[in-house]
Amino acid sequence: MKLPPFQALLDEHRVEVYRFCVATAGRAEADDCFQETWIAALRAYPKLRRADNLRAWLLRIAHNKAMDLHRSRGRRPVPVESVPEPARAPTAPELAADDEPELWAAVRDLPPKQRTAVFCRTVLGMPYAELARLLESSEDAARRNVFEGLRTLREGWTP
Amino acid sequence: MIDNPNGTADLADGGDAALEAALRSSAAALPDAPSPELDERIAERAAGEELLDVAYATVDSPLGRLVVAATPRGLVRVAYTESATDAGVLEELARKVSPRILEAPARLDAARRELDEYFEGRRTQFELPLDWELTRGFTSRVLQATARIAFGSTSTYAEVATQAGSPRAVRAAGNALGANPLPVVVPCHRVLRTGGGIGGYTGGLERKEYLLRLEGVLV
């Protein structure tokens, strides 16, 4: 298995991984999420069997690290994803288009898969096939996660 | 069903273009990159957890920029190149040593210090541990013979071939020196032609002459 030098991976995906961490784990936890992601990736790297789509592989690790951080800080219980959405309203009273941090605070309140799906789809423009791989789900499930996440966000959002 | 992920997807997403645009534009305000110190912390932690197989750094020298790389066993590569991504230095290390490679300047402080001292004329011998992993067989024997040539003295291709156990393999000795993964530190510049011709050098003859002048061999 011919793998590129790990530093090349870090150089190529540093920005995407960091923004993913800020968006999903929050600004205060972003550095921890980033560090944990790259250490875990480095640990697993030599055993990697395919070198295609390393972005999905890295963001899957970051997704798990963001969940771990949410859990360990006990900031809020992690929502169970199989329960149908009772339309959880974002915590911010009123979200406006120009109020960026609040919009992302609302994203962070989404269940983890929806949070990741919304970020990857809207910010990275990630194809559903790649998102499905990242979430280890079907493409239909990936689509549903984007859809549900955006629906929840829209309920608390005024353009 | 027509498979058109990008066309129908927008409707499936909920079709709220304004919300998605707001998410995109607000994401642009998210910080892009962590501080450089975070990279250093990651590299140090990787080393501490024995996950860093190759650390590298760039070093400025009178011969131009060098890329230096070390494994936990010692210095493994010195390359005349402007950046580590040039000339496939990192790819070679990934293939032949390990893909667990990170830029980690702190791991190469000793190498940098010894090289600086050498170029300033304050050091005549390198004391760094060396990792010979990138050399094999005859090449390895030629280079280990070369490593014993003292500062300010020279040898010949024929002599190092003899010391490597194959007196007639003069041309092969030349090739082995040309493949030296540790130039400067393993002083292949001290090997000349029998009769005094300067011979060749992977980094270019100007560099070889510079090093021989630095050591007082050429005036």
Q: What is the DSSP string of B119-182?
A: HTT--SS----B--TT--HHHHHHHHHHTTSPTT--EEHHHHHHHTT-TT-HHHHHHHHHT-SS
A45·B26 Cβ contact <8 A: no
Residue that has been written with the tokens 């010949």 in this structure: B156
Whole-number Å distance between alpha carbons of B17 and B13: 9
Span B93-123, pLDDT tens digits: 999 999 999 999 999 999 999 999 999 999 9
The two three-digit tokens of residue B3, written as one number: 């498979």
Arithmetic mean of pLDDT, A111-135: 95
Sheet with B101-103, edge to edge strand ranges: B74-80, B64-71, B54-61, B101-103
B4-17 tens-digit pLDDT: 444 444 444 445 78
Q: How far apart are CA A127 and CA A142, in angstroms?
A: 10
Q: Is the minimum CB–CB distance between B8 and chain A shorter than 8 Å?
A: no
Q: What is the largest CA-CA distance in chain A?
A: 52
pLDDT tens-place string over residues A58-109: 999 999 999 998 888 765 544 555 544 444 444 333 333 344 567 888 999 9
pTM for the structure as a whole: 0.84
Please give the interface size between A and B, counted as residue pairs whose CB atoms are below 8 Å apart.
126
Nearest CA in chain B to A117: B13
Tell me whether B49 touches chain A (CB under 8 Å). Answer: yes
DSSP per-residue string spanning B6-54: HHHHHHHTT--HHHHHHHHHHHHTS--S--HHHHHHHHHHHHHTT--SE
- Closest CA of chain A from B207, distance in Å: 29
Token output for B58: 């760039």
Q: Two tokens at B167?
A: 């007196």
Residue predicted with more confidence, A82 or A5: A5
Q: Do B27 and A46 touch (CB under 8 A)?
A: no
Chain B residues with CB under 8 Å of A127 CB are 5-6
Contact A14 B34 (CB under 8 A): yes
- Tell me what the mean pLDDT of segment A141-150 comes to: 96
| Tens-place pLDDT, residues B120-177 | 999 999 999 999 999 999 999 999 999 999 999 999 999 999 999 999 999 999 999 9
Nearest to A108 by CA among A58, A33, A158, A159: A33
Tell me which amino acid residue A18 is: Y
Selected catalytic residue, list B160, B188, B191, B211: B188
Catalytic residue list contains B140: no
Distance from CA of A76 to the nearest CA of B (A): 23
- Chain B residues closer than 8 Å to A43 by CB: 49, 51
User: Mind listing the pLDDT tens digit for each residue in B41-92?
Assistant: 999 999 999 999 999 999 999 999 999 999 999 999 999 987 666 668 999 9
CB contact under 8 A, B90 and A157: no
CA pair distance A75, A17, nearest whole angstrom: 22
* Mutation site, A1, A2, A3, A6, interface B, largest B CB count within 10 A: A6
Which tokens is A155 given? 């309920």
- Cβ under 8 Å to A: B residues 79-108: 84-85, 90-91, 93-95, 98-103
**Contact: A150, B20; criterion CB under 8 Å:** yes
pLDDT tens figures, B171-209: 999 999 999 999 999 999 999 998 888 888 988 999 999
